[in-house]
Amino acid sequence: MFYRESGDFKTSYSADQQTFPIRLDRHVVYGILAFAFLVVPFLINDYWEKSVLLPFLVWAMAALGLNILTGFCGQVSLGTGGFMAVGAYACYKLMVAFPWLNMFIVVILAGLITAMVGVVFGLPSLRIKGFYLAVATLASQFFLVWLFNKVPWFYNYSASGMISAPERTLFGIPVTGAEAPPWMTYLFCLTLVTIFAFIAHNLVRGRIGRSWMAIRDMDIAAEIIGVPPLKAKLSAFAVSSFYIGMSGAMLFALYLGSAEPNDSFGIAKSFLVLFMIIIGGLGSILGSFLGAAFLTLMPVLLKNIMVGWFGWPADLAAHLELLLIGALIMFFLIVEPHGLAQLWRVTKERLRLWPFPH
């Protein structure tokens, strides 16, 4: 049977604090990771790479980032698209300026640059909250997109105003550019997302995560018991922007190959990531993945069903898809306002005590 244990039998605090305290969870997660790293690279093709796996990984990274800021620290942001743009343009400038630089380092540096920008745009959060902060971050969204449109230096004065990723190799194999094989781009993104998901988990379960959650739950009490609000909020902005910057860099360099501020990083993207964490679960690492999976994979699935199986015209399917996704979002929010992660947690709690629920 699944989840048979019916009680807390941990005998040491380190066992109680481990990443996946339930043995079955541990096995499932490690099993998925082994499959993702060892099997998928042999099966992957262009379609799976570009339509399913890369978008999922890129948006999961963005959702992790926004969830740290909004879900864990309670600071609403509508600037995600803008910060992804910072990551993408930083990535582009770094790739061009230092062609020999390892792509992992490039993406991480792009994240760090975004973190610094995020801290600057996070400063208003020290004075304003809630809707007002959302509006302030919305302003940063528009400002950043405008900036990358208006200042040609960012796109190296290219005539089209677009940036495109030059070919870079890793172990002699192209990882960016048109020649990059699907398994390479996939493994690159998977490695980054896996590492940084564990890091996010480590951050939220310790001192820093608790300082974020304390600010989220009751900021005045948090300060009076010893949480410095400035440090807590700005560190959340920094870490969140770091993740979002990396996702922007991956979106541009690995997934799209070229980008342009309005289409690739517009306000729609900010809302998309916000939807992901709301549907997946605010304040949950797993929820970031579930939300990203839901909103990237569901459209693909619906399209395949409607166009592929039923043979409906593509434009009709596209409209129906939007309707269906909207309806599903509402359905999930009504059934479980705390998101898919909570739905999963509740089901698990029931299973763990089964068959004696009391």
Partner 1 sequence: MAELTQDGRKIGDILLEVKNITLAFGGVKALTNISFDIKEGEIRAIIGPNGAGKSSMLNVISGFYHPQQGEVWFRGQKRGPMRPYEVARQGIARTFQNIALFKGMSTLDNLMTGRITQMHTNILWQALWKGPAEREEIAHREKVERIIDFLGIQAIRKTPVGRLPYGLQKRVELGRALAAEAKLLLLDEPMAGMNLEEKEDMCRFILDVNEEFGTTIALIEHDMGVVMDLSDRVVVLDYGKKLADGTPNEVRNDPAVIEAYLGVGH
User: What is the contact surface with partner 1 in residues (CB under 8 A)?
Assistant: 8, 13-14, 17, 199, 202-203, 205-208, 210-211, 213-214, 216-218, 220-229, 235, 239, 283
- Can you tell me the distance from the alpha carbon of 180 to that of 235, in angstroms, rounded to the nearest whole number? 35
- Can you tell me the distance from the alpha carbon of 220 to that of 227, in angstroms, rounded to the nearest whole number? 9
User: SS in 3 state form for 191-211?
Assistant: HHHHHHHHHHHHHHHCHHHHH
Q: Please report how close the Cβ of residue 306 comes to partner 1 at its closest, in angstroms.
A: 39
Q: Which residue's CB is nearer to partner 1, number 54 or number 208?
A: 208
130 alpha-carbon distance from chain centroid: 21
- Can you tell me the distance from the alpha carbon of 265 to that of 273, in angstroms, rounded to the nearest whole number? 11
243 alpha-carbon distance from chain centroid: 7
From residue 251, how far is each of 89, 104, 175, 191, 308 by CA, in Å? 11, 14, 13, 15, 27
- From 226, 236, 229, 234, select the one nearest 215 (Cα to Cα): 229
Q: Which residue's CB is nearer to partner 1, number 54 or number 282?
A: 282
- Can you tell me the distance from the alpha carbon of 137 to that of 9, in angstroms, rounded to the nearest whole number? 45
Q: Which residue's CB is nearer to partner 1, number 239 or number 251?
A: 239
Task: Respond yes or no on whether the N-terminal peptide bond of residue 166 is cis (omega within 30° of 0).
Answer: no
Tell me the chain's radius of gyration from C-alpha atoms. Answer: 21
Q: Please report how close the Cβ of residue 225 comes to partner 1 at its closest, in angstroms.
A: 6
Q: Which residue's CB is nearer to partner 1, number 228 or number 308?
A: 228
- From 118, 103, 150, 97, select the one nearest 245 (Cα to Cα): 118
Residue for token pair 């018991």: 225
Q: Which residue's CB is nearer to partner 1, number 319 or number 358?
A: 358
Helix axes 229-250 and 103-122, enclosed angle (nearest 10): 140
Q: Which residue's CB is nearer to partner 1, number 173 or number 221?
A: 221
In order, the DSSP letters of 278-294 are: HHH-TT-HHHHHHHHHH
* Residue 288: other Cβ atoms inside 10 A: 32
What DSSP state is assigned to residue 180? -
Q: Please report how close the Cβ of residue 251 comes to partner 1 at its closest, in angstroms.
A: 23
Q: Which residue's CB is nearer to partner 1, number 151 or number 221?
A: 221
Q: Please report how close the Cβ of residue 186 comes to partner 1 at its closest, in angstroms.
A: 24
Q: Please report how close the Cβ of residue 222 comes to partner 1 at its closest, in angstroms.
A: 7
Q: Which residue's CB is nearer to partner 1, number 19 or number 158?
A: 19
Q: Please report how close the Cβ of residue 323 comes to partner 1 at its closest, in angstroms.
A: 33
Residue for token pair 């172990």: 171
Q: Please report how close the Cβ of residue 77 comes to partner 1 at its closest, in angstroms.
A: 18
Q: Which residue's CB is nearer to partner 1, number 128 or number 230?
A: 230
Q: Please report how close the Cβ of residue 209 comes to partner 1 at its closest, in angstroms.
A: 8
Show the tokens assigned to 3: 């989840």
Q: Please report how close the Cβ of residue 19 comes to partner 1 at its closest, in angstroms.
A: 8
